[in-house]
Structure 1
Amino acid sequence: MVMDIGLFGTLRKLKVTSSSLRVDDDFSDRLNHHYSGILLLIFTFIISAKQYVGKALLVLEHVNILSKNQIIIYIITLTGQPLQCWVPATYTKAMEQYAENYCWVQNTYYVPFDSGVPKEHSERRDRKIGYYQWVPFVLACEALLFYLPCILWRLLNWQTGVNFRALSRMALEAQSLAQAEVRARAVHSMASHVHDSITLCGSRPKNSGCCRRIRPCLQQALCFLCSKRHGCYLSYLYLIIKLLYLANCAGQFFLLNAFLGTRQGELFGIELLTSMLSGRNWEESGRFPRVTLCDFWVRTIADNHRHTVQCVLVINIFNEKIFVFLWFWIVLVATLTGLSFIAWTARQLVPASRTRFVVDFIKLANGSSGGGGGGGGGGLRRGEARLARQFAEEHLRSDGVFVLRLMAANAGDVVTASVVKELWSAFKKRYSNCVYDSDIV
């Protein structure tokens, strides 16, 4: 009972302190670096436990002091061995253990039951299956590859001065606090931080001479490195990170092909679907064989004797399910990431889309505060509409709108509308001498 209370308390703590409200990426990014990474680490733990924990506990089974410990025996039965071989009755227990250890280390080879065992050693060597020992390491490597773009993004996005961690904390406060004054202070802090970041980036000294003439050309090719002052550093960097996520998904397919030994020019999942559609039993295709053969030599004084034993790769039952699921999971992640990249490209590279986003939130903020200056439910006057376009394109610019979009996607429209209202009010004070029409747009 005490253990259950401690477990649920830990889970609640993890839920509260999770990074789900971190406003520096979207769901497709978290699907790559967070959910895919956790999934791969779980698979790594399962395979590692099957391979190494079961073998270690099997050794403990033969220790006299633990031979009567029912808990150890139960765990041994639960985990089992990754490989077990059928040996002749003349083998002793030590010989059987040696054969299984040797076959696990030196690989086995697959021959269908309806085919004869090859006599040539070279042909047996060509049929060898040598991936199962490396599965935990490959899965852990894949988890790291899914997380690398996120590391790169968080190493580079701070150069604009936008502190996404601080924005996450303030957004959480603004969402959870009921007092209007405390909530208003959190919103004001978020608006001030966004305003200071985009203002400082926009006030960098301009280059002169030949650098000023060369800069527009460099900006087109290396905009994510040289366009902080132009307000599009974050936007372009984020799109490049999206491309890295896509490149990682594509690389994962080739990694699985190379690791599993799929026929050249054919993806593992496509081969699987082809087998299923053609009516063949894909479980007996030889990709994850359950029953394999193993050769080992025993040195004697007179000569070396070769022994061939038949082994059961129990671990392949897990490997098969994991890699089949993983392949289709990568397809899903790649599809959602590609759609997200297209959506973000359209949002950030089209000026009209950026302006419409800002104007919509200004109207939302005006409507929630009881109307927009006599304009009937949050509408903008014509003069204000022109000023709003200037506010979006010249003041916020691409990076400011990008930060607000991420905030809306993670913290919600209410918090984002409050921040936009603060920024909009501060911007209008600088243009208080503008004359507005009475027309509503």
Structure 2
Amino acid sequence: MLKTFSSVSQYIKADLTRVIIDNIVFKLHYRWTFVLLLVATLLVTSRQYIGEHIQCISDSVVAPVINTFCFFTPTFTVVRHMNNTALNSGSIFEPGIGPYNRQSDEVKKHAYYQWVPFVLFAQALCFYMPHALWKKWEGGRIKALVYGLRMVGLTRYLKNDSLRIGTLNIPSMAEAEERVINIRRTMIDRMRLNQSWGAHLVFAELLNLANLCLQIYVTHRFLGRQFLTLGVKVLQERWVDKMDALDIVFPKVTKCTFFKYGAAGSLQEHDTLCVMALNIMNEKIYTILWFWYAFLLTLTVLSLIWRLLTLFLYKSVTFTRWTLYWAKPGKIKESDLSSVIEKCNFSNWMFLFFLRTNLSEFLFTKVIYHLASEFPDNPTHDNDINNYRAQYPHLPSLDTVDAPLLHHRATTSAASAPPEGASLKV
């Protein structure tokens, strides 16, 4: 069993070195829902758990022929036999199974089981798509800024020498200070030119909600408009009535009609019963999906309400201090924080938020301090990035996200930086 699901294990492994560029609700979409749908796809395509997907009873037709025919063509149940009264009285032995008249009786066809694995896999890809788009739009900027800084919190215990343990490099205090200055320079460079970063994040989160609503609707149509109330009916009927919503949507026994020509050339009709073993798995999968989608929809709406709050309140120092409580902002001077927030638009603020998510309290406090040092108290001027870059044309392009932060040696990054006495005019 473990071997069957080994292909999806790579998506649920914890990676402590992974850079965080989204929130927990976003991860529920592209990681947990994606994995859940992949596991469901593997379950309905594996015969080792449920055996043959369909087995039909016929006296004169070869079993493999009738099984294949009834699996590839829709089976059906009789609507007038879908009632608890007849089932409890013993008039019928299975919901929807009984004598019927081809001309007058209404039947319900069941063809979805042929498409279940394809639909589940397509839905898994749809849940991953917003993450793929956001990852492309984000462009690795957060990773570039925090590269090599995940362990910088330990530099407070080092003085002049760096420490290398295997592939892990813990810089010295002097190297850490230089990297913080690099973060400051890169952040300042981007503050006036990276206006769409936050908008792309909000759009990706809205895309998650739109995709979730779309997949709920697609599933509802796919199951014959029975999905929206499936979970509620299961809770109400599962332990009360002999026939519940699962028996109607996922019948375990269905009817199938097979025609063939006899020895004399006349058309013969064979009315067969088919045991739908696959529906034992389908009913569990879609019941779990109903409750998961309800849970995910609730959290997604709440996360968008939170995003709306950040959009309107990000200029508030009090709100920012509360939002960045992981950094213990009481250790950050309110004047420093106010200076930085005053110069931030929403994209810059979100950039700071994810910097804090990926950096230690020790380092983030230094980042705020160094950013605040770029903004003097005189509010009558503003940052002139273009003039600043005109003075230092040798600086790397702003679109190069791996410079100067992805250079391992401090001398390389120092060589690409402006002169020590230069500062950004405000």
TM-score normalised over the length of structure 2: 0.69
- The change in CA–CA distance for 1:317 and 1:13 in structure 2 (over 3 A counts) is closer
CA drift at 1:13: 12
> Deviation of residue 284 (structure 1)?
5.7
**In 2, are the aligned partners of 1:351 and 1:393 still within 8 Å (CA)?**
no
In structure 2, the residue matched to 1:295 is: 257
Pairing 1:418–2:358 present:
no
Secondary structure of 2:46 counterpart: helix
Structure with more of its chain in helix, by fraction: 1
Superimposed CA distance per residue, residues 26-78 of structure 1 (whole angstroms, 9 cap, x where no aligned partner): 1100000011101110110111113xxxxxxxxxxxxxxxxxxxxxxxx6xx5
Q: Which consecutive residues of structure 1, in runs of 5 or more, have no partner in the other structure? A: 51-74, 205-227, 368-377, 435-441
**2:244 alignment partner in structure 1:** 282
Equivalent residue of 2:125, what SS?
Answer: helix
Deviates more, 1:254-263 or 1:186-195: 186-195
Match of 1:405 in 2: 353
Identify the match of residue 45 of structure 1 among 6, 19, 42: 42
2:257–2:269 CA contact under 8 A, matched in 1:
yes
C-alpha distance in structure 1 between counterparts of 2:70 and 2:10, whole Å: 46
Paired residues for 1:28-427 under 5 Å? 28-50=25-47, 79-88=50-59, 90-91=60-61, 95-111=62-78, 112=81, 114=92, 116-120=98-102, 123=105, 126-158=107-139, 163-167=141-145, 169-174=147-152, 180=158, 181=162, 182-183=170-171, 185=175, 189=179, 192-193=182-183, 195-202=185-192, 204=193, 228=194, 231=195, 233-262=196-225, 267-273=229-235, 275-276=237-238, 279=241, 281-282=243-244, 285-300=247-262, 301-353=264-316, 356-357=319-320, 378=331, 380=333, 385-386=334-335, 388-394=337-343, 396-409=344-357, 411=358, 415-427=360-372
| Cα RMSD (Å) | 3.9
Mapped to 1, the partners of 2:270 and 2:117 lie a distance apart of: 29
List per-residue Cα deviations over 1:382-440 (Å, max 9, x = no partner).
xxx4453232121x43223212323444x36xx15513423423532653999xxxxxx
User: Given that residues 41 and 139 in structure 1 are in contact (C-alpha distance below 8 angstroms), is that contact kept between their aligned partners in structure 2?
Assistant: yes
SS in 2 for 1:22: coil
Amino acid at match of 2:21: D
Task: Output the amino acid matched with 1:296.
Answer: F
Give, as a single letter, the amino acid of the residue that structure 1 aligns with 2:55: Q
- 8 A contact 1:292–1:311 mirrored in 2: yes
Residue 123 of structure 1 deviates from its aligned partner by 4.7
- For residues 349 and 377 of structure 2, the distance between their equivalents in structure 1, rounded to whole angstroms, comes to 23
8 Å contact kept, 2:314–2:349: no
Inter-CA distance 401–353: structure 2 relative to 1 (3 Å threshold):
same
Question: Whole-Å Cα distance in 1 between the matches of residues 374 and 142 of structure 2?
Answer: 27
Aligned residue pair count = 348
Distance 2:261 2:132 in 1: 53
Alignment-mate amino acid for residue 348 of structure 1: L
Q: Is the 8 Å Cα contact of residues 134 and 204 (structure 2) preserved in structure 1?
A: yes
Contact 2:58 2:270 in 1 (8 A): no
The amino acid of 2:141's aligned partner reads: N
TM-score (norm 1): 0.67
Query: Measured at CA, do residues 188 and 291 of structure 1 come closer, stay the same or move farther in structure 2, by a change above 3 Å?
Result: farther
Q: Deviations over 1:78-119 (max 9, x none)?
A: 55100011222x55xxx1110111101112112346364322
State the distance in 2 between where 1:165 and 1:339 align. Answer: 27
The code of the aligned residue for 2:255 comes to L
Residues 290 and 340 of structure 1, relative CA distance in 2, 3 Å threshold:
same
Conserved? CA contact 1:85–1:311, under 8 Å: yes
The whole-number CA distance in structure 2 between the counterparts of 1:178 and 1:87 is 79
Say if 2:254 and 2:276, in contact at 8 Å, map to a contact too. Answer: yes
Answer yes or no: is the 8 Å Cα contact 2:234–2:244 preserved in 1: yes
State the Cα distance separating 1:350 from its structure 2 match: 0.9
User: How many Å apart are 1:323 and its aligned residue?
Assistant: 0.3
